């Protein structure tokens, strides 16, 4: 049971009252539909077609679909190497900001696909999110560097014996050179070495790059969720 909850972060970022709802049962569904907030963001399992149809009938519209991939770290044998690039922890906040901003401008997550939300504010949300990981004590931020220039990064959080790749991005000028695949290989190896047995991540269903990379690393598709928005 998860009732709609005010998102202070989203409300501040977009200057509107945003409530978020994770729909797990009929009570959650009724509460999301009854919620009077200016913007309600609802997440619901793709398998719950009846719930999705009730949300649509109540004025919600689809903004993205997330799919989770999960696997074991014992598949990861060696840290990755990338010709000319160095993989190490990121401590440089300004570089992380630059790469996140570049990778997530006009992204296709649910903030950017809602035409009433400011696109720049949506991008800055990802910047804030990636940089918040620099202070995590239960995870790390790993990056691929071209000399001193950060080319790509991933933030990883560890909890309950599993490492989650939370957010990742490669600067547009460095995309499609295998940087993300190398970061995932390094993350898996590092988690395994630390005794963390499971690895998982999620992305929008149409984001094929990460899914191809995860599948090659032995991760398998699992649960998936629609995100829907409704304005008052
Ligand atoms: C997704 C992203 C991190 C991939 O980084 P990358 O370093 O370019 O990826 P790689 O070069 O390691 O490519 C990995 C695989 O994905 C494929 N791929 C990468 N971008 C792709 C795209 N736009 N469409 C289809 N396949 C793509 C690559 O071709 C490669 O598969 P292949 O070996 O069959 O060719 C990068 O495109 C990015 O930052 N995108 C914007 C932010 C984002 O989507 N973040 C992920 C949110 S979960």
Task: Examine the domain organization and report whether 202 and 87 are in the same domain.
Answer: yes
Q: Clarify whether residues 12 and 82 are in a common domain.
A: no
In a shared domain, residues 50 and 88: no
Q: Cα(158) to centroid of ligand 1, in Å? A: 23
pTM of the model: 0.95
Residue pair 47/218 in contact (Cβ under 8 Å)? The answer is no
Do residue 138 and residue 197 come from a single domain?
A: yes
Does pLDDT of 166 surpass 70?
A: yes
What domain count does the chain have?
A: 2
**How many Å is the Cα radius of gyration of the chain?**
18
Section 212-221 average pLDDT: 96
The answer as to whether 165 is a domain residue is yes
Please indicate, yes or no, whether residues 128 and 180 belong to a single structural domain of this protein: yes
Q: Is residue 103 part of a domain?
A: yes
Residue 203 has pLDDT above 80, yes or no: yes
Please tell me the predicted confidence (pLDDT) of residue 134: 98
Position 217 pLDDT exceeds 80? yes
Same domain, residue pair 152 and 43: no
**Domain of 103: which CATH number?**
3.40.630.30
Helices 26-34 and 49-57 meet at what angle, rounded to 10? 20
Task: Dump pLDDT digits (tens) for 113-165.
Answer: 999 999 999 999 999 999 999 999 999 999 999 999 999 999 999 999 999 99
pLDDT of residue 82 exceeding 90, the answer is no
Instruction: Phi first, then psi: give them for residue 25, nearest 5 degrees.
Output: -150, 180
In this model, does residue 1 exceed pLDDT 70? Answer: no
Per-residue pLDDT band for 77 (boundaries 50, 70, 90) equals: confident
Domain for residue 232, yes or no? no
Torsion sign over Cα 96, 215, 105, 52: negative
Q: Count CB atoms within 10 A of the CB of residue 146.
A: 16
Which pLDDT score is estimated for 175?
A: 97
When the pLDDT of each residue in the chain is averaged and rounded to a whole number, the result is 96
In this predicted structure, the answer to whether residue 52 has a pLDDT above a threshold of 90 is: yes
Residues with beta carbon inside 6 Å of ligand 1? 103-104, 152, 168-170, 175-181, 203, 207-210, 212-213
HSE of 71, CA atoms in CB hemisphere, 13 A: 25
Q: Do residues 75 and 185 share a domain?
A: yes
How much is the pLDDT for 126? Answer: 97
Q: Distance from the CA of 210 to the center of ligand 1, in angstroms?
A: 6
Pocket probe mutation, ligand 1, options 68, 180, 206, max atoms within 8 Å of Cβ:
180
Residue 166 counted as domain residue:
yes
What atom in ligand 1 is closest to the CA of residue 209?
A: 16
Mean pLDDT of 44-54: 98
**Residues 120, 40 share a domain:** no
The parent domain of residue 53 ranges over 5-59
Whole-number percent of the chain with pLDDT over 70: 100
Give the pLDDT score at 67. Answer: 98
């Amino acid at each position: 049971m998860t009732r709609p909850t005010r998102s202070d972060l989203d409300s501040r970022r977009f200057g509107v009252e945003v409530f978020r709802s994770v729909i797990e049962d009929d009570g959650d569904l009724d509460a999301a539909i009854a919620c009077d907030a200016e913007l309600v963001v609802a997440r619901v399992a793709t398998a719950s077609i009846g719930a999705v149809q009730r949300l649509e009938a109540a004025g919600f519209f689809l903004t993205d679909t997330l799919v989770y991939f999960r696997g074991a770290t014992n598949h990861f044998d060696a840290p990755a190497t990338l010709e000319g690039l160095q993989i190490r922890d990121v401590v440089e906040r300004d570089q992380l900001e630059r790469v996140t901003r570049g990778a997530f401008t006009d992204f296709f997550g649910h903030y950017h696909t809602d035409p009433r939300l400011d696109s720049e504010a949506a991008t800055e949300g990802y910047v804030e999110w990636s940089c918040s990981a620099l202070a995590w004590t239960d995870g790390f931020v790993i990056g691929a560097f071209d000399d001193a220039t950060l080319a790509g990064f991933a933030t990883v959080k560890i909890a309950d014996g599993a490492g989650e790749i939370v957010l990742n991005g490669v600067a547009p000028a460095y995309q499609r050179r295998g940087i993300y695949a190398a970061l995932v290989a390094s993350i898996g190896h590092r988690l395994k070495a630390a005794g963390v047995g499971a690895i998982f991540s999620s992305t929008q269903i149409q984001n094929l790059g990460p899914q191809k990379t995860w599948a090659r690393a032995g991760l398998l598709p699992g649960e998936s969720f629609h995100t829907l928005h409704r304005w008052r």
